[in-house]
Amino acid sequence: MSAGASPLVVAGAGLAGLCVALAAAPRPVLLVGGSAGSASALAQGGIAAALGRGDRPALHAEDTCAAGAGHNDVAMVSRLVDAAPDAVAWLAAQGVAFDREGADWALGREGGHGRARIVHAGGDASGQAIVDAMERAVAGAAHVTRLASDGLLALALSEGGAIAAVRLVGADGATRDIATPDLVLATGGIGTLFAATTNPLSADGNGLALALEAGAPGRDLEFVQFHPTALAVPGEGPLPLLTEALRGAGAVLRDARGEAVMDGLHPLADLAPRDVVAREVWRRRQAGNDVFLDMRSLGEQGLAAFPTAVALCRAHGIDPRRDPAPVTPAVHFHMGGIAVDADGRSGLPGLHAVGEVACSGVHGANRLASNSLLECVVAGRALGTRLSLPRDARIQAAPRRWVHPGAGTNAAALRALRDLLWRSMGPVRDDATLAEAERRLRVDPSLARTWQARLASRLLHAARIRRASLGAHHRADSA
């Protein structure tokens, strides 16, 4: 690292963090954390972009805002969809081998999209293919230093309340402090705070909790997206995801009698926005009725486009050629997060956020399918470019106050918290259940003083004060 230059510290090495790090050249970058097991790498869906004949960014924007229940920041949506074709071209230039049909893009369709506009790489292994290409690009970037086994432990604020330093912890438990005026949080979502989630174990809200503890404002914390088709299998940990593209290709949700679940409930039936489908699956399961994803109509050729989903089913003794797969809603994406402006700035000077941990308003009350990887690329490149000019280390403010997230829970308490949030902040909510969950967090001695409980309390509070249903936030007691 060059003398006199303050590094840019990027915490989180999923797609958003990788894009920031690469775009920040020539500024020295410390990229903290590994990409393996990130939500980006696990993504089966692709990237939404208006690339097909007759498609336009304006139509992509209409679908984004319709899925987001009109709660979207329209300017941010326009910025996202307008940049989408270039984002795909840029990724291809980095070595992502997107699927083609001859000279044309192979475009799939997912829920909430009025037409086929999803580009994939390796079928339903898109996330891993994209992350692998970006990993190779970052590995060849001389300005990036990887700290793959390190984690962000704390941050320091200057007397004026700006970012002054970070404290990192290695795999051996040793800590080190690094002075920096700029910290980018790309730490992902909150899924593993819930009993049922498709998210990796790292998506526990740690970056969001640290930012809120430091005084950065949050935004839209109540909006949690539930994917309607996680594979309903026993055990703890992330549930296998059956990509929405399966329904785009013709798979159908059915009940135990074989009746189509979504018929007559929405004009788009199985391709209705995720919140609509997830609520119906939730209601039926709460009533004791199983729901299945029937992929048999796809046949051998159709299923060949979904090797990841097929392998996941077979690993659990399900042959999708013959057997419908049992499914459940599961936490998939957090539309809320650290409030950021169009340039990724939070309300705390020097603290920036990108990807799922950030909330610019682009997703509104419910994210449109395959807009998340797109946001990582568009917002990550823009943020990295803005932060690319090195700052002089001699004007670095001195750390005055260290901010830690606080003590964490033990395993048993975390299981209780996950069950509590799943019951109270699932696809259908009501004030009495939310209030009881808040009370439980206050009185349970194993939870009351932990950072997970403080973050959960913020989520519950946000869900309680939004009394009307909107998008993924559905209140059964709404007038």
Sign, CA dihedral 233-42-126-171, equals negative
Burial degree of 349 (CB within 10 A; 0-12, 13-18, 19+)? middle
- Cα 12 from Cα 33, distance rounded (Å): 5
Q: Give the residue among 470, 473, 439 at the shortest CA–CA distance from 456.
A: 439
- DSSP string for residues in 458-470: HHHHHHHH--S-B
Place of tokens 């891993």: 128
Backbone angles phi, psi at 150, to 5 degrees: -90, 160
Smallest Cα–Cα separation from 165: which of 373, 3, 404, 375? 404
**Residue 314 among the catalytic residues:** no
Q: Provide DSSP, 374-439.
A: HHHHHHHHHHHHHT-SPEEGGGPPPP-EEE---PPPPHHHHHHHHHHHHHHSSSSB-HHHHHHHHH
Q: Residue 357 gets which letter from DSSP?
A: G
Question: Which residue out of 27, 167, 219, 274 is catalytically annotated?
Answer: 274
Is the Cβ–Cβ distance between 99 and 121 less than 8 Å? yes
Residues 326 and 357 sit within 8 Å (Cβ to Cβ): no
Residue 220 CA from chain centroid, whole number? 14
Tell me the catalytic residues: 274
